[in-house]
Amino acid sequence: MAKAKTEVKTNAMRILDNLGIPYEAQSYECREFEDAGKTADLLGLPHEKVCKTLVCQGKGKGYFVFVIPIDAELDLKKAAKSVHEKSVEMIHVKDIKNITGYVRGGCTAIGMKKAYPVRIDSSAEQLPDIYVSAGRIGCQLHLQPEKLREACSGEWADLTKTKERGAESV
């Protein structure tokens, strides 16, 4: 996958422009879903600065958006606690577009079909910059974590499973 120039702005880019939030868009040739790790490798991006966007449904049937590092795993108990739910579970891949307005691999917390509560893993808060999907497959946004939080009205939260001595703890 070679880098390509971004020609058409996504909804997320238009929202960032309207808010006056600086960002850099990086596009690459991609016809179908690639996981975030492979995308980071192909663009030469450091994994610790690349985040993925996950959508869950709570017991109360509401939807919640979680932004976590690509090499981390969402801790469903921590995620549920962060949005004051008893439990949350990942939505089915087939439902992503209907719920968010975005396709798998192009989902971003900025400019979803509806304004769902967003939580961003607190590990991103300490980074000078991060990369997230720009709202379509083949395009990433590079911006400051605080600006992402501002653009999606998100909140910081501890969301990922911790690793102890090579094994994940729950």
Distances (CA, A) of 69 to 8, 32, 55, 132: 26, 21, 14, 10
**Beta-ladder partners of 142:** 24, 131
Contact 63, 56 (CB under 8 A): yes
pTM of the model: 0.89
Number of Cα atoms under 13 Å in the Cβ half of residue 73: 10
Question: What are the structure tokens assigned to 48, written together?
Answer: 């610790």
Q: What are the extents of the domains in the chain? A: 3-158
Residue type, 165: R
- At 99-140, the pLDDT tens digits run 999 999 889 999 999 999 999 999 999 999 999 999 998 889
* Two structure tokens written together for 140: 């990433």
Summary mean pLDDT of the chain: 89
Q: What is the pLDDT of residue 169?
A: 43
DSSP states of 23-86: -EEEEE--SS---HHHHHHHHT--GGGBEEEEEEEETTS-EEEEEEETTS-B-HHHHHHHTT-S
Q: What is the mean pLDDT of each run of 10 residues along the chain (170 residues)?
A: 59 97 89 76 89 95 96 97 97 95 93 96 96 92 98 97 56
pLDDT score at 38: 80
Classify strands 155-157 and 118-121 as parallel, antiparallel or unpaired: parallel
The CATH architecture of the domain made up of 3-158 is Alpha-Beta Complex (3.90)
